[in-house]
Structure formats: structure tokens, C-alpha cells
Amino acid sequence: MPRAESCGAQYGARVDVRLPYPPGARSGDRPTAVEPCSTCGELTGRGYPACLACAEVVDRPWLADWLELLSAERVSAGSEEERSLAARVLAAPAGTHPWTCTDWALRLRRCVECGGEPGAGDPVCLACAATDAARWEWDHTADPAEMTPDEHALRLAVVVLRAPQRRRVPVVATWRLAVPFLLVGERVTFAQVRGIRAAVLAGRYADLAGLDRVVELANLRLTPWRRHS
């Protein structure tokens, strides 16, 4: 891969910086169908992270990868060593660990500036902005086999829902609507995301929330307004 050689190539040195890029979110049970959450009543995932039942389901693929890392490193969950491991994961170059482990490690640390979850804290915190920008290096440098567009979309959705105060309201609403489909591995293209956002901007969130097929959500803005018919 060109990426592997880019660093040293201009100096004539062949520095192999190819990192393993272990894929993320390929373990942990996912729901097999888009269904309402028995706790909050919305389609499972939309209550994230406030609804604990939604959070349990959404976080599974992240937690599975983190527990695997803990096991490999012989570190106990909840220990001080776990916090140290989180710091080491965050200090490592992108591609060293699965992206899910980067996200989980962030949750175990505190932002030095605002005290929130790094990358998800105060909307005006510059340290959080830098941390959030850095996490996407994984997505931008990985091969498609290591991260599919669906996995990138799921990661983005969950990052947005964890820090709604850092995003515009229609963006948050759009990803909230999409997350149940992403969880079951359904394809949500960026064209569909744009379609959903257009309907959100048209004030149709309630109508969108009542639909359970992503193609319907994406095309709602194109269907005639009921009040005009």
C-alpha cells in the first residue's frame, strides 16, 4: 500500500510504517432486526446514550473489542491499569488498535481542558476539538477492507450521539434516526443521509421517526406534503 511507504519515500529511506489496522466492531452481538426498544419505545439505538437498554446494544461491538484487548494485555476492567492502558492506546499511532478501542479508551479518560469525555466535552473546548479530529485519522488512512463505509457511518453516528452539544441539531437528529439501521448492518448511503437530513430540516422528524425502512426515511422529503394534498 502506498500509505506504508509515504513517510520515508521522499528521503530515499524505505520506512515501513504499515500498522496492523485491526478492524473494529466485527465482534459483539448486533440486533438482527430494526425493532422498538422495550425501555424507551423508540427504534433500538435512538435512545442512545440516555436509554440504558439502547446504550447496552449500541456499545456491544465497542465493548467486545475493548474486552478482547484487556484480555490480551491481562488487565482487569475497572482497574487503574485499565486507565493506563487507555492512555497508551490513545498515544499509539492510528492503526495500532481497532478504532473501537480508541473510542472506548477516550471514554475512560478525562479531557485536560474541560473535564469531559475527551473529544465529546464542552462545545468550545479546543482540546476536545483536537481529540475529535485526531480520532478520524484511522478512518481516513485505513484500507476499505479494514473499515467499510457502514462501519464508518456507525462510528460517526455514535460519536455524534455521545456529544450532541458539539453538533448542529439537524445533524444529531439525522444520525439518531439512522442509527437503528446502521446497528443491524443495513446500508445507509450518504445520499440517504442527505435525504433524511433534508426531511429533518423540513420539520418532519416526527414523521421520520414513525418509519421503519431506511429507504422511506431517505425519500420522505420527496413525497408530497400531506397538508397540500
Reference 146, options 215, 96, 203, 196; nearest CA is: 96
Residue closer to Zn ion, measured from CB, 53 or 64: 53
3-state secondary structure of 209: helix
Minimum distance, C-beta of residue 35 to Zn ion, in the bound complex (Å): 11
Residue closer to Zn ion, measured from CB, 90 or 125: 125
Minimum distance, C-beta of residue 103 to Zn ion, in the bound complex (Å): 16
Q: How far is CA 74 from CA 70, 99, 120, 191, in A?
A: 6, 20, 28, 44
Residue closer to Zn ion, measured from CB, 54 or 85: 54
Minimum distance, C-beta of residue 58 to Zn ion, in the bound complex (Å): 9
Residue 197 near residue 171 (C-beta atoms within 8 A): yes
Residue 183 near residue 31 (C-beta atoms within 8 A): yes
Minimum distance, C-beta of residue 86 to Zn ion, in the bound complex (Å): 16
Residues of this chain that interact with Zn ion (CB under 5 A) are 37, 39-40, 47, 51, 53-54, 111, 113-114, 121, 125, 127-128
Residue closer to Zn ion, measured from CB, 26 or 110: 110
